[in-house]
């Protein structure tokens, strides 16, 4: 809302500078967003909150200025036009189809006007607030709108079929060429003003081109009405139009202001365009039923945490236009003015008192709050995962949840049906993602472009899908590894190329810290995916995207390894309870087995064979070396496996271990034709 | 020379030595062929016979003592300096470390903010990103067909003909629906913060994104006052932006709170004088807040006469941008490692 300093001064004495005024208004809830000195005046722009349509007028803001500066609002007496119909002038029928759509319609007919440019003061004032001057009639309707907040519309009476104005829903198939030159198809959701034959305006939004006031216009019909905010809003949205009138009708105009504003416009028209008001009619009640709201002062004081003197509260409410009476010492009753339809509850009065009293004058305190017995931290799980992954050298990414359907399919990763948006900004953000991996691959590509040698990133977020019509939303963690990690060690530089075992190592670390022991990995034949199992159930996958899929993401000549795990499944299996186990009382003895074995024998099978044979004294068995090369025949691999034996009964003697270790070694020879070294 | 005098002095003499060379000199001086002890031994024949045996024993004891002290000192001088290597360290060489990753700056800011509130007894509760119209709008006193909804333009999910639904599903446009979820499930007293992703169909530019993060907070109990809202939020803002900031609470309108307030802090650059960073205003808005509207309480079945409360919400990106001096919101979602490694 734009207005000027001098314009305001017509309605209230202002003795402070525009800047001081702006600060006061801002601190009363009318945020002044700009002040601009122009042509000996100051243009003030204010952001008006949607609950206060009364502030969409100079008079409404002047009332607020009066309240915050302690001055009186000066409203000129209405120089009314008592005329209802001059004798001899034909009557006008006002036909309102539905009172809910249009609670009040007033019409005035003014004959013999001279349409010409507006007087200079009017042109300048409108121009200062960014409103284009059209002609004296149109400018006056706009001037009244900005000053009093009531949208008016003037029709060229000669373009209307005489004798009747109908406010009705549009019929299917009706069309209208609007004042802005656009032709619009109407439908029964849209409220129109019509004459006997045709719609002539979309109610509260915009008039038709055909009936607009032009230089040829002699007689005018001036409309001042109240339309249902929802109907105006639907019509404006359906037709894709914007107007100052619709902006006000949607927020709610003051019914008691409609006829008065019409009278003010008639007076101004008389001054600048001549003419005579020959008819004034209305349909619907001019007055609103009065509303009373009571306020217990104790409620006000205890809600704000400050005591405001009753007299002060009363004075504030009166300055804002309320009619205040004291029911008792502790209760005030406020008669709500018609322009304050937003005030319904005592809480609304508390806000008014607090606003004008000044939030700055309310002290600060801390609540005597009793903390809940049970503290909840629902983000604790994701915190755990994020901390785990950063400690392992991964960086956290945050990517958009809305993606392109085609982009999602590119990776070849997800088969789930995505959830589509009804009103996306563009196809590129048309669906909710079913997996985070494509988004992370895009981050990899971006970082490779910046010559990053290592891109290890993760994200924790929700994935969405539709299954059997039901929409599901699940938290997952995903990570991707790409490139080489350089280790600067005492021995010099070492390079570590990311691979699937790095992915495995990360998953195992998460599981180990989460107390998950029963897990495994299941590779599938001819499939670049490995299932991650928790208690035998699939909880996620390791992905090794194919070259062609990576090229879709502009990742060339690089391998990427990824994983996505369901956090629901992970945390269902997690056990964060820690229990102390007594430290081993007796020393362990370590024995290695070195062997050469066919390259395709899985290590997991070798280890389980050893465990099976070595018995309970074997406490740990792990691969400590794996090599292929010169000394090993083609198609074979050399393995060194470390076995750790320990007893809780006493120190083990060599004679106790030797037969166990021999049996464990022997089984490898028998079962896998391993050659022991 | 007097044996007793040598005994007394030799200890300090050895202790003061700093090098193996000096130690060798001392050894020659006492134990060498022409050294002090050789001289003492040489003097034995000139002593009375009855004194010779005792004197000889004393010289021998002294010799043993000196030999022992020299050996000990030798070991000490040969050992490397405490904790270090005997070789020289070129401390300009790169340090050897396994470099950990880092949390995204939005996570870091979210955690910092949540931690401030959890220290005051708030719980952290999250909610889903797909919401119902009721939780996102109606329950929060936002009428479906009112201009107040325009601040909350919303992505709707495409309806599925297989599952006709009575309540439209949407992507939450703020974290406030979690207020409804929590209040429907639990009874006061409540003190909760809600971090999470939210969505609005805004065209992307340096300060807008169709997805961003919010933190919502609310307290409900008997006798919660507007002054408490001011106190808690002032404590919070000073923790994040420093004790010397100025603050102001400006009346505003939110459908789900009344009275409502927007909270500004003084521009960190010009200290409320007005500069280009704050658009000459001197103040920077950081959050919206207010006393929870009685209609919201009615929707969740709380008695507005019995309970009061306040709620607040802030954009995490906005706070992070102010805190770190980031000028483009898009940087948060590009995940350039050069960016991520700065935080």
**For residue range B271-283, what is the model confidence (pLDDT) as tens digits?**
777 777 777 778 9
Chain B residues touching residue A398 (CB < 8 angstroms) = 104, 106-107, 332-333, 335
CA distance B127 to chain A (A): 9
Quote the CA–CA distance of A317 and A299 in Å, as a whole number.
Answer: 16
The distance from CA A321 to its chain's CA centroid, rounded to whole angstroms, is 36
| A281-300 average pLDDT score | 93
Q: To 10 degrees, what angle do helices B20-31 and B49-78 make?
A: 170
Chain A residues touching residue B336 (CB < 8 angstroms) = 446-447, 450
Phi-psi region of A637 (alpha: psi -120 to 50; beta: other; left: phi over 0): beta
pLDDT score at B276: 77
CA distance A326 to chain B (A): 22
- Interchain pair A50, B101: CB under 8 A: no
Q: Is the pLDDT of residue A603 over 80?
A: yes
Quote the CA–CA distance of A653 and B136 in Å, as a whole number.
Answer: 72
Structure tokens at B162: 């297989």
Chain A residues touching residue B150 (CB < 8 angstroms) = 50
Among B145, B148, B169, the residue with its CB nearest the CB of A471 is: B169
Q: Are strands A93-96 and A206-207 parallel, antiparallel or unpaired?
A: unpaired
**Contact present, A58 and A261 (Cβ < 8 Å):** no
pLDDT score at A175: 94
CA angle in degrees (0–180, nearest 5) for B152-B157-B158: 135
Chain B residues touching residue A351 (CB < 8 angstroms) = 251, 258-260
- DSSP H helices in A553-602: 567-573
pLDDT score at B87: 66
Higher pLDDT, B227 or A523: B227
Give the lowest-confidence range in A647-651, B196-200, B223-227.
A647-651
Q: Is the pLDDT of residue A369 over 70?
A: no
Mutation choice for A interface testing from B157, B201, B248, B339 by most A CBs within 10 A: B157
Chain A residues touching residue B289 (CB < 8 angstroms) = none
Minimum Cα–Cα distance from B170: chain A residue = A421
Place B74 in a pLDDT band, splitting at 50, 70 and 90: confident
Residue pointed to by tokens 């055909």:
A210
Terminal-residue alpha carbon distance, chain B:
73
Q: Is the pLDDT of residue A355 over 60?
A: yes
Place A406 in a pLDDT band, splitting at 50, 70 and 90: confident
Q: What proportion of chain A, given as a percentage, has pLDDT over 70? A: 98
CA distance B176 to chain A (A): 16
Look up the pTM and report it. Answer: 0.85
pLDDT score at B81: 57
Place B214 in a pLDDT band, splitting at 50, 70 and 90: very high
Chain A residues touching residue B340 (CB < 8 angstroms) = 395-397
User: What is the rounded (10 degree) CA torsion for A195, A200, A201, A206?
Assistant: -150
Among B156, B291, B334, the residue with its CB nearest the CB of A422 is: B156
Place A519 in a pLDDT band, splitting at 50, 70 and 90: very high
Give the lowest-confidence range in A380-394, A597-611, B89-103, B227-241.
B89-103
Give the ipTM of the model, two decimals please.
0.88
| A20-44 average pLDDT score | 95
Quote the CA–CA distance of B171 and A408 in Å, as a whole number.
Answer: 19
Residues 6+ apart with CB under 8 A from A280: A81, A83, A84, A85, A106, A107, A108, A109, A262
**Contact present, A155 and A221 (Cβ < 8 Å):** yes
Chain B residues touching residue A251 (CB < 8 angstroms) = 147
Buried/exposed A512-528: b ≥16 CB within 10 Å, e otherwise = eebebeebebeeeeeeb
Quote the CA–CA distance of A213 and A653 in Å, as a whole number.
Answer: 113
CA angle in degrees (0–180, nearest 5) for A91-A92-A98: 145
- Interchain pair B123, A377: CB under 8 A: yes
Minimum Cα–Cα distance from B255: chain A residue = A51
Higher pLDDT, A84 or A457: A457
Q: Is the pLDDT of residue A360 over 50?
A: yes
Q: Is the pLDDT of residue B301 over 50?
A: yes
Chain B residues touching residue A388 (CB < 8 angstroms) = none
Q: Are strands B308-315 and A529-534 parallel, antiparallel or unpaired?
A: unpaired
Higher pLDDT, B24 or A3: A3
CA distance A261 to chain B (A): 24
Chain A residues touching residue B221 (CB < 8 angstroms) = 367, 369-370
Among A304, A345, A447, the residue with its CB nearest the CB of B294 is: A345
pLDDT score at B330: 96
Quote the CA–CA distance of A103 and A648 in Å, as a whole number.
Answer: 92
Minimum Cα–Cα distance from A442: chain B residue = B334
Q: Are strands A454-467 and A470-489 parallel, antiparallel or unpaired?
A: antiparallel
Burial class of residue A156 in the structure, from the number of CB atoms within 10 Å of its CB (0-12 exposed, 13-18 middle, 19+ buried):
buried
CA angle in degrees (0–180, nearest 5) for A521-A526-A532: 15
**Contact present, A109 and A219 (Cβ < 8 Å):** yes
CA distance B113 to chain A (A): 13
**Bridge partners for A641 per DSSP:** A593, A623
Quote the CA–CA distance of A116 and A119 in Å, as a whole number.
Answer: 9
Chain A residues touching residue B293 (CB < 8 angstroms) = 347
The CATH-assigned architecture of domain A291-361 is 2-Layer Sandwich (3.30)
Phi-psi region of A656 (alpha: psi -120 to 50; beta: other; left: phi over 0): alpha
pLDDT score at B113: 97
- Interchain pair A456, B101: CB under 8 A: yes
Closest listed residue to residue A44, CA positions, set A34, A52, A53, A54: A34
Domain with CATH 3.30.930.10 in chain A: 380-573
Among B227, B262, B293, the residue with its CB nearest the CB of A364 is: B227
**Contact present, A419 and A432 (Cβ < 8 Å):** yes
Minimum Cα–Cα distance from B158: chain A residue = A422
- Interchain pair B248, A306: CB under 8 A: no
Higher pLDDT, A443 or A489: A443
pLDDT score at A41: 95
pLDDT score at A235: 92
Mutation choice for B interface testing from A343, A379, A455, A493 by most B CBs within 10 A: A379
Quote the CA–CA distance of A97 and B36 in Å, as a whole number.
Answer: 134
Work out how many CB contacts closer than 8 A connect A with B.
Answer: 260
CA distance B305 to chain A (A): 9
| A387-406 average pLDDT score | 96
Quote the CA–CA distance of B213 and B317 in Å, as a whole number.
Answer: 7
- Interchain pair A462, B129: CB under 8 A: yes
Q: Is the dihedral of CA A21, A24, A28, A33 positive or negative?
A: positive
CA distance B141 to chain A (A): 12
- Interchain pair B201, A423: CB under 8 A: yes
Query: What rounded mean pLDDT belongs to chain B?
Result: 89
The CATH-assigned architecture of domain A2-69 is 2-Layer Sandwich (3.30)
Q: Is the pLDDT of residue B167 over 80?
A: no
- Interchain pair A366, B231: CB under 8 A: yes
Q: Is the peptide bond before A435 cis (omega within 30 degrees of 0)?
A: no
pLDDT score at A79: 63
CA distance A526 to chain B (A): 33
Residue pointed to by tokens 């101004």:
A268
Write out the DSSP string of A148-168.
Answer: H---EEEEEGGGSPTTEEEEE
Q: Are strands B169-171 and B130-132 parallel, antiparallel or unpaired?
A: antiparallel
Chain B residues touching residue A463 (CB < 8 angstroms) = none
Burial class of residue A485 in the structure, from the number of CB atoms within 10 Å of its CB (0-12 exposed, 13-18 middle, 19+ buried):
middle
| A585-611 average pLDDT score | 92
pLDDT score at B82: 54
CA distance A312 to chain B (A): 18
Structure tokens at A53: 């349509």
Chain A residues touching residue B123 (CB < 8 angstroms) = 372, 375-377
- Interchain pair B107, A396: CB under 8 A: yes
**Contact present, A28 and A68 (Cβ < 8 Å):** yes
Q: Which fold has domain A380-573?
A: BirA Bifunctional Protein; domain 2 (3.30.930)
| A261-271 average pLDDT score | 93
Domain with CATH 3.50.40.10 in chain A: 93-283
- DSSP H helices in A527-651: 547-552, 567-573, 603-614
**Contact present, A140 and A116 (Cβ < 8 Å):** no
Q: Is the pLDDT of residue B12 over 90?
A: no
Chain A residues touching residue B121 (CB < 8 angstroms) = 369, 371-372, 375
Quote the CA–CA distance of B78 and B18 in Å, as a whole number.
Answer: 11
Q: What top-level class would CATH report for the domain A589-676?
A: alpha beta
**pLDDT tens profile A613-644:** 888 999 999 999 998 888 888 899 999 999 99
Chain A residues touching residue B190 (CB < 8 angstroms) = 372
Residues 6+ apart with CB under 8 A from A240: none
- Interchain pair B340, A233: CB under 8 A: no
**Bridge partners for A293 per DSSP:** A334
- Interchain pair A443, B338: CB under 8 A: no
Q: Are strands A419-420 and B308-315 parallel, antiparallel or unpaired?
A: unpaired
CA distance B156 to chain A (A): 5
Burial class of residue A353 in the structure, from the number of CB atoms within 10 Å of its CB (0-12 exposed, 13-18 middle, 19+ buried):
buried
Q: Are strands A419-420 and A402-403 parallel, antiparallel or unpaired?
A: unpaired
pLDDT score at A373: 45
Higher pLDDT, A227 or B98: A227
Chain B residues touching residue A458 (CB < 8 angstroms) = 101
State which CATH number among 3.50.40.10, 3.40.50.300, 3.10.20.30, 2.40.33.10 fits the domain covering A93-283. 3.50.40.10
- Interchain pair B155, A421: CB under 8 A: yes
- Interchain pair B104, A50: CB under 8 A: no
What H or E segment, with its residue span, contains residue A489?
strand A470-489
Chain A residues touching residue B227 (CB < 8 angstroms) = 304-306, 362-365
Residues 6+ apart with CB under 8 A from A426: none
CA distance B105 to chain A (A): 9
| A340-366 average pLDDT score | 96
Domain with CATH 3.30.70.380 in chain A: 589-676
Minimum Cα–Cα distance from A376: chain B residue = B123
Burial class of residue A274 in the structure, from the number of CB atoms within 10 Å of its CB (0-12 exposed, 13-18 middle, 19+ buried):
middle
The distance from CA A110 to its chain's CA centroid, rounded to whole angstroms, is 49
Burial class of residue B243 in the structure, from the number of CB atoms within 10 Å of its CB (0-12 exposed, 13-18 middle, 19+ buried):
exposed
Place A81 in a pLDDT band, splitting at 50, 70 and 90: low
**pLDDT tens profile A539-565:** 999 999 989 889 999 999 999 999 999
Place A398 in a pLDDT band, splitting at 50, 70 and 90: very high
The conformation of residue B341, written as its DSSP 8-state character, comes to: T
Domain with CATH 3.30.56.10 in chain A: 2-69, 291-361
**pLDDT tens profile A33-49:** 999 999 899 999 999 99
CA distance A662 to chain B (A): 39
Among A370, A372, A395, the residue with its CB nearest the CB of B337 is: A395
Q: Is the dihedral of CA B24, B30, B31, B32 positive or negative?
A: positive
């Amino acid at each position: 809302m734009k207005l000027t300093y001098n314009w305001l001064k017509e309605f209230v004495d202002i003795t402070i500078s525009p800047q001081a005024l702006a600060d006061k208004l801002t601190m009363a809830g009318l945020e002044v967003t700009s002040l601009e000195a122009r042509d000996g005046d100051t243009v003030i722009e204010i952001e008006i909150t949607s609950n206060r349509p009364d502030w969409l007028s100079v008079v409404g803001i002047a009332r607020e200025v009066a309240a915050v500066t302690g001055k009186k609002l000066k409203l000129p007496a209405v120089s009314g036009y008592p005329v209802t119909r001059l004798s001899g002038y034909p009557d006008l029928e006002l036909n309102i189809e539905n009172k809910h759509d249009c609670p009040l319609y007033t019409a005035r007919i003014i004959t013999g006007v001279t349409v010409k440019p507006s007087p200079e003061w009017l042109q300048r004032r409108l121009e200062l607030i960014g409103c284009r001057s059209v002609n004296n009639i149109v400018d006056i309707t706009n001037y009244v709108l900005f000053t009093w907040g009531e949208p008016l519309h003037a029709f060229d009476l000669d373009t209307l079929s005489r004798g009747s104005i109908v406010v009705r829903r549009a019929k299917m198939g009706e069309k209208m060429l609007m004042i802005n030159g656009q032709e619009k198809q109407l439908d029964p959701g849209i409220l129109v003003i019509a004459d006997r034959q045709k719609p002539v305006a979309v109610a509260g939004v915009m008039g038709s081109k055909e009936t607009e006031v032009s230089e040829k216009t002699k007689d005018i019909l001036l409309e001042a009405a109240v339309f249902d905010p929802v109907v105006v809003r639907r019509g404006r949205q359906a037709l894709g139009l914007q107007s100052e009138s619709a902006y006000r009708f949607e927020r709610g105009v003051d019914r008691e202001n409609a006829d008065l504003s019409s009278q003010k416009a008639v007076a101004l028209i008389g001054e600048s365009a001549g003419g005579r008001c020959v008819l004034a009619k209305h349909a619907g009640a001019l007055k609103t039923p009065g509303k009373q709201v009571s306020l217990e002062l104790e409620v006000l004081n205890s809600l704000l945490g400050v005591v405001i003197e009753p007299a002060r509260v009363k004075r504030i409410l009166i300055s804002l236009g309320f009619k205040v009476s004291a029911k008792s010492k502790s209760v005030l009753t406020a008669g709500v003015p018609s322009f304050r339809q937003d005030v319904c509850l005592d809480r609304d009065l508390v806000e008014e008192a607090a606003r004008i009293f000044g939030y700055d004058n309310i002290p600060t305190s801390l609540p005597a709050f009793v903390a809940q017995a049970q503290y909840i931290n629902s983000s604790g799980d994701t915190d755990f995962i994020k901390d785990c992954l950063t400690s392992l050298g991964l960086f956290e990414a945050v990517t958009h949840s809305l993606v392109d359907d085609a982009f999602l399919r590119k990776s070849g990763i997800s088969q789930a049906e995505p959830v589509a948006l009804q009103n996306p900004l563009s196809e590129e953000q048309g669906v909710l993602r079913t997996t985070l991996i494509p988004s992370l691959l895009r981050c990899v590509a971006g970082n490779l472009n910046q010559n990053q040698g290592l891109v290890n990133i993760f994200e924790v977020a929700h994935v969405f899908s539709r299954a059997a019509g039901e929409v599901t939303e699940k938290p997952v963690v995903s990570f991707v590894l790409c490139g080489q990690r350089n280790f600067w060690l005492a021995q010099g530089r070492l390079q570590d190329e990311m691979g699937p075992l790095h992915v495995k190592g990360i998953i195992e670390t998460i599981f180990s810290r989460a107390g998950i022991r029963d897990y495994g990995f299941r590779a599938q034949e001819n499939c670049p995916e490995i299932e991650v199992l928790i208690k035998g159930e699939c909880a996620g996958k390791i992905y090794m995207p194919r070259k062609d899929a990576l090229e879709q993401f502009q990742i060339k000549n690089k391998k990427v390894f990824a994983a996505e795990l369901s956090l629901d499944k992970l945390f269902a299996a997690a056990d964060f309870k820690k229990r102390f186990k007594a430290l081993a009382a007796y020393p362990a003895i370590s024995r290695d087995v070195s062997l050469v074995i066919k390259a395709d024998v899985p290590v997991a099978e070798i280890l389980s064979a050893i465990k099976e044979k070595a018995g309970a004294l074997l406490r740990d068995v792990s691969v400590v070396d794996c090599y292929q090369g010169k000394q090993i025949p083609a198609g074979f691999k050399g393995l060194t496996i470390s076995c750790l034996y320990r007893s809780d009964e006493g120190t083990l003697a060599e004679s106790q271990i030797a037969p166990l270790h021999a049996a464990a070694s022997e089984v490898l020879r028998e079962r896998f034709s391993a050659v022991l070294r | 020379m007097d044996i007793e005098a040598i005994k007394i002095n030799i200890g300090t003499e050895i202790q003061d030595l700093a090098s193996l060379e000096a130690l060798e000199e001392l050894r020659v001086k006492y134990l060498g062929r022409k050294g002090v002890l050789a001289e003492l031994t040489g003097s034995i024949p000139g002593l009375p016979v009855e004194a010779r045996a005792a004197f000889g024993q004393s010289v021998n004891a002294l010799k043993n003592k000196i030999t022992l002290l020299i050996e000990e000192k030798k070991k000490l001088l040969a050992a490397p300096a405490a904790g270090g290597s005997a070789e020289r360290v070129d401390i300009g060489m790169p340090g050897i470390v396994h470099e950990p990753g880092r949390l995204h700056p939005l996570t870091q800011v979210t955690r910092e903010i949540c931690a401030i509130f959890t220290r005051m007894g708030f719980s952290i509760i999250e909610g889903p990103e797909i919401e119902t119209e009721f939780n996102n709008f109606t329950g929060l006193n936002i009428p479906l067909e009112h201009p107040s909804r325009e601040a909350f333009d919303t992505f709707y999910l495409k309806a599925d003909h297989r599952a006709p639904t009575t309540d439209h599903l949407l992507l939450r446009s703020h974290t406030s629906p979690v207020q409804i979820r929590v209040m429907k499930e639990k009874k006061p007293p409540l003190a909760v913060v809600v971090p999470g992703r939210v969505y609005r169909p805004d065209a992307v530019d340096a300060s807008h994104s169709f997805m961003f993060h919010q933190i919502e907070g609310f307290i409900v109990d008997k006798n919660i006052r507007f002054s408490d809202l001011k106190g808690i939020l002032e404590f919070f803002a000073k923790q994040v932006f420093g004790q010397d900031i100025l603050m102001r609470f400006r009346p505003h309108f939110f459908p789900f709170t009344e009275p409502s307030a927007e909270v500004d802090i003084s521009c960190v650059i010009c200290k409320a004088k007005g500069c280009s960073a704050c658009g000459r205003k001197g103040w920077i808005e950081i959050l919206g807040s207010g006393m929870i509207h009685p209609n919201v309480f009615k929707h969740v079945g709380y008695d507005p006469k019995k309970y009061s409360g306040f709620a607040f919400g802030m954009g995490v990106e906005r706070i992070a941008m102010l805190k770190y001096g980031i000028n483009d919101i898009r940087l948060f979602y590009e995940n350039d490692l050069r960016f991520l490694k700065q935080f």
